[in-house]
């Protein structure tokens, strides 16, 4: 089975859904309209629907035969709080909201597969179609798991898929091991004593502390992480003082940033190292440092057996030459990690065609490539028919 011909017959409907969702983007935990469309479609095709997990999450369940095996497939539904610069007909109609990560495409593809599987029923067991809210930094997947996703909808394996611009639409990347990094936030607040900029000796300067701290944290990855391990420590926000106050040393300066790693031990190390440097710099300069490290997503690490099954399904759709087995991991994060920590899983990358003019994820000119809809939905269908083979 190369591209599934029955699913190719649903391309117009998938495209229409995808473009409608693109025009009406909704951000984290506000996906009311999107969830309503998803739930209505699933019900229309005879799939049992459960709503309300993680506020706007939707789970469709389809059981065929008497088989006891069960698989879960995850799509994310949320958009980003950013303006869209595209001018085409399906561009965002909501100011400051944009489907710039292709979750509109993910939702449409999983719906296409659900429609096909409900119509053909050529498997034996249960499939759960998970439509999660708030993937973009708000942990909708984590909330679904915490609210009992796999207690209510038990699964032997869970699979996730994300589009990848720059990879041809007839390519699917499936690799074992780390796919996405842990994605954590950190904050350091340096507090001193504000004073006149002309008389710094009368205060204790948190600006100088922040400056030394920013330089010192560059050594964490360079000098204390094994060169064969990947890690990122980035300061992304710095604020202190008043832009109008050119001669006032402020009381405090706040630095915020992100930390990424693929292994739990490296993640732990980054958390300790950033805090140690903040404390050391503060002590040396007689200010204080208040440190917070906020764990958001663990790394997404593919289970070897689930990866092998995903690879076989991908091969059935795009052929052996279309499957990329050594795709490099991304330093982005995905809260699919909480699902695949609970149940063995695999996360694959679906080609989304050329990324012209920098139209990558989170770019204001990005648009999911509809040429990938049939490939992605065919992959989901092949995976279910293979995992739950009669
Ligand atoms: Zn995304
Ligand atoms: Zn994204």
Which ligand sits closest to the CA of 106?
A: 1
Share of the chain above pLDDT 70, in %: 99
Residue-wise pLDDT tens digits, 254-272: 999 999 999 999 999 999 9
Which ligand sits closest to the CA of 300?
A: 1
Residue-wise pLDDT tens digits, 79-125: 999 999 999 999 999 999 999 999 999 999 999 999 999 999 999 99
* Ligand 1 center–CA 103 separation, angstroms: 6
Q: What is the mean pLDDT of residues 229-246?
A: 96
* Ligand 1 center–CA 33 separation, angstroms: 19
Residue-wise pLDDT tens digits, 343-357: 999 999 999 999 888
Residue-wise pLDDT tens digits, 351-381: 999 988 889 999 999 999 999 999 999 999 9
* Ligand 1 center–CA 242 separation, angstroms: 36
Of residues 2 and 197, the one with the higher pLDDT is 197
Which ligand sits closest to the CA of 102?
A: 1
SS (H, E, C) the chain: CCCCHHHHCCHHHHHHHHHHHHHCCCCCCCCHHHHHHHHHHHHHCCCEEEEEECCCEEEEEEEECCCCCEEEEEEECCCECCCCCCCCCCCCCCCCCECCCCHHHHHHHHHHHHHHHHHHCCCCEEEEEEEECCCCCCCHHHHHHHCCHHHHCCCCEEEEEEEECCCCCCCEECCCEEEECEEEEEEEEEECECEECCCHHHCECHHHHHHHHHHHCHHHHHHHCCCCCCEEEEEEEEEECCCCCCCEECCEEEEEEEEEECCHHHHHHHHHHHHHHHHHHHHHHCCEEEEEEEEEECCEEECHHHHHHHHHHHHHHHHHHHEECCCCCECCCCCHHHHHHHCCEEEEEEECCCCHHHCCCCCCCCCCCHHHHHHHHHHHHHHHHHHCCC
Q: What is the mean pLDDT of residues 47-68?
A: 98
Q: What is the mean pLDDT of residues 39-57?
A: 98
Q: What is the mean pLDDT of residues 279-296?
A: 98
* Ligand 1 center–CA 102 separation, angstroms: 6
What pLDDT is recorded for position 1?
A: 47
What pLDDT is recorded for position 356?
A: 83
Averaged pLDDT of the chain: 97
User: Taking 80 as the threshold, does the pLDDT of residue 2 lie above it?
Assistant: no
């Amino acid at each position: 089975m190369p591209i599934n011909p029955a699913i190719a017959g649903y391309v117009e409907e998938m495209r229409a859904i995808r473009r409608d969702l693109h025009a009406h983007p909704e951000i984290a935990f506000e996906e009311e309209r999107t969830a309503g469309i998803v739930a209505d479609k699933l019900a229309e095709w005879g799939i049992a629907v459960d709503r309300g997990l993680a506020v706007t999450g939707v789970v469709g369940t389809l059981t065929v035969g008497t088989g006891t095996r069960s698989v879960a497939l995850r799509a994310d539904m949320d958009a980003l709080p950013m303006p869209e610069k595209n001018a085409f007909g399906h561009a965002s109609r909501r100011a400051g909201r944009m489907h710039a990560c292709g979750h509109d495409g993910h939702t449409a593809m999983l719906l296409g597969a659900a429609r096909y599987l409900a119509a053909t029923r050529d498997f034996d067991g249960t499939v759960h179609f998970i439509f999660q809210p708030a993937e973009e930094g708000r942990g909708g997947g984590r909330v679904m798991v915490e609210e009992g996703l796999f207690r209510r909808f038990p699964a032997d394996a869970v699979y996730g898929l994300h589009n990848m611009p720059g990879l041809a639409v007839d390519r699917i990347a499936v690799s074992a091991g780390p796919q996405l990094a842990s994605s954590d936030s950190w904050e350091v607040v340096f507090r001193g004593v504000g004073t006149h900029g002309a008389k710094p000796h009368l205060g204790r300067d948190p600006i100088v502390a922040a400056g030394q701290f920013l330089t010192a944290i560059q050594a964490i990855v360079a000098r204390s992480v094994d060169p064969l391990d990947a890690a990122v420590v980035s300061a992304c926000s710095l604020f202190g003082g008043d832009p109008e106050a050119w001669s006032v040393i402020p009381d405090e300066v706040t630095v915020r940033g992100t930390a990424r790693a693929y292994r739990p031990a490296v993640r732990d190390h980054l958390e300790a190292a950033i805090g140690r440097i903040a404390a050391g710099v503060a002590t040396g300069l007689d200010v204080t440092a208040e440190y917070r490290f906020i764990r958001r997503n663990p790394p997404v690490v593919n289970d070897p057996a689930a990866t092998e099954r995903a690879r076989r399904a991908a091969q059935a759709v795009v052929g052996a030459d279309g499957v990329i087995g050594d795709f490099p991991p991304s330093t982005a994060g995905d809260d699919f990690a909480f699902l695949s920590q609970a149940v063995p899983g695999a996360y694959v990358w679906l080609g989304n065609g050329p990324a012209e003019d920098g139209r990558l994820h989170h770019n204001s000119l990005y648009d999911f490539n509809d040429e990938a809809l049939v490939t992605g939905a065919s992959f989901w269908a092949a995976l279910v028919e293979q995992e739950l083979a009669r």
